Structure 1
Amino acid sequence: MAKSKKANKSGSSFFWIVIVVAVVLLALIVFLSKQSSDEPKQDETFSFDYSNQPFEGDENAPVEIVEFGDYKCPACKDFNDTVYPVIQKDLIETGKAKLYFMNYPFIYKDSERSAQFAETVYQELGNDVFWKFHHLLYSKQPKEEKTDFFTLKVLKDSLAELVNEADVKKVEEAFKNKEYKDALAKDRSYVSELKIDSTPSLFINGKKFTGSSYDEFIQEVKDAAKK
């Protein structure tokens, strides 16, 4: 009799273990399925709103390149110093592509400040001044990432190398009034929606570039221009 009770107890325990394992496996399948569906597919085309975004190139160029960058990111500086000149010469000047810059400031606290200030420069002084300021900031990027280098004074002094005192004051006033707020929020919404986690992140006609070299990137842009 005692033996029979033990067997029943053992069978009951086994039954509940199977149920628990099945529930856990089901929950895991649902979780992984949701994660997979949330991830943007590499071949998906994202529809950017390019209005009120700084860009270089012919408005009618067939290829739209988007760079998400951070002014404190060494890889972004490398892109600006080595790849941008090739893009400028082979793609922008030939009318094949135009290049947009969008902000993803995350390296350090002054990443945010420099993005805010550069966005304000664009809003107040226009596209041409923005790009000069953009390249100037990368030329001044400090070697140490974890330093609060891009102070408001450094940003104003840098802008003063390009424009007159009245324009600097105009930008400073707009910066203090947070005129950059909506534009930066728009960039951040793209970062969130596209699940961008590094810089520079590059898109060609709305598709994320997933190649392993900048040579591949240039070739993909050229191929896109032929379509």
Structure 2
Amino acid sequence: MLRSLSRRTVLSSLAVLSAGVVLSACSDSGKAEAETVPAEPAQPAAPADAAAPATPAPAAPAAKAPEASGSVDMAKLLEPGALPDMMLGKADAPVTIVEYASMTCPHCAHFHETTLPALKTKYIDTGKARLILREFPFDPRAEAGFMLARCSNDNYFPMVDVLFKQQQNWAGAQDARTALLQISKLAGFTQEKFEACLTDQKLLDDIRAVRERGTKDFGVDSTPTFFINGKQYKGALSIEEMSAVIDGML
């Protein structure tokens, strides 16, 4: 269950929140442990003079699609919320992926650094899928990251990308305010714009409303959580797992 957050401004919270609280906030209860497959026993080497026909190496088996943990009504999922949806890809793509993420979640950062680039090349850029990213912050630092991304306007996804890549530099920093300000300045923020963004109570309330809707209406309780054409999958899926799900819908 999400812990209650006070209405104090995110800006005033950044300097007092401990790193331990931030990093423990990312829940990954739905992520399955990787199955360990025992190695085949080594075969004795053939004598040097034995004439053995060359055999091609077996092809790697295709990844099995993970089991969905539930499903939601797609029309309800795509209804407008407190904030306009931020999307990568074409609106008429046959597959829609809705991701709920937290900016301080290391599993979300892992997905965005390792799986999303391949997903974008293979499915999003080719018109087969689109990705909608929705905010699901667990703590004030995650809220601040999303607020800065929203204040970046057309640079929402580049800002999200930078914050995930530099997550260790600000999410666990003793002084997150200074770390986020430095990142924001590189993205073109002035100090005045930075402070105005993080003291925008309406924006903060709207981001919290997106999170609360995800919990109440769609059962989101951990990040990342994906809805692929309405089917729910929890955990940072690999590109192989994503492909197995998406290919079955095309």
Unaligned residue ranges in structure 2 (runs of 5+)? 1-68
Q: Is 1:60 matched with 2:92?
A: yes
Q: Name the one with the larger helix percent.
A: 1
Matched, 1:223 2:248: yes
The counterpart of 1:131, out of the listed 157, 170, 176, is 157
Deviations, residues 8-43 of structure 1 (Å, cap 9, x unaligned): xxxxxxxxxxxxxxxxxxxxxxxxxxxxxxxxx814
Higher relative contact order (CA 8 A, sep 6+): 2
**How many residues are paired up?**
176
What is the TM-score of this pair, normalised by structure 1? 0.66
| In 1, Cα distance between equivalents of 2:136 and 2:122 | 26
Residues 223 and 235, structure 2, Cα contact 8 Å, conserved in 1: no
Q: Which amino acid aligns with 2:94?
A: P
Does the alignment pair 1:192 with 2:216? yes
Please state how far the C-alpha of 1:87 moved relative to its aligned partner.
0.9
Instruction: For residue 135 of structure 1, report the CA deviation from its aligned partner.
Output: 0.3
1:182 aligned residue (206, 222, 235): 206
| Identical residues among aligned pairs (%) | 23
CA contact (8 A) 1:116 1:184 kept: no
Paired residue for 1:140? 166
Equivalent residue for 1:78?
110
Would you say the 8 A contact 1:64–1:204 is kept in 2?
yes
User: Considering only CA atoms, is the larger Rg found in Structure 1 or Structure 2?
Assistant: 1
How large is the Cα RMSD of the aligned pairs? 2.8
Deviation at 1:79, TM superposition (A): 0.4
Following TM superposition, by how much is the alpha carbon of 1:177 offset from its aligned partner in structure 2, in angstroms? 2.7
Change (3 A) 1:81 1:112: same
TM-score, with structure 2 as normaliser: 0.61
Unaligned ranges ≥5, structure 1:
1-40
- State how 1:1-227 maps to structure 2 within 5 Å: 42-46=70-74, 47-49=76-78, 51=80, 52-106=84-138, 108-121=139-152, 125-126=153-154, 129-142=155-168, 150-151=176-177, 153-163=178-188, 165=190, 169-170=192-193, 172-180=195-203, 181-209=205-233, 213-214=237-238, 215-224=240-249, 226=250
The one-letter amino acid of 2:232's match is K
- Asked if 2 retains the 8 angstrom alpha-carbon contact of 1:109 and 1:148, the reply is no
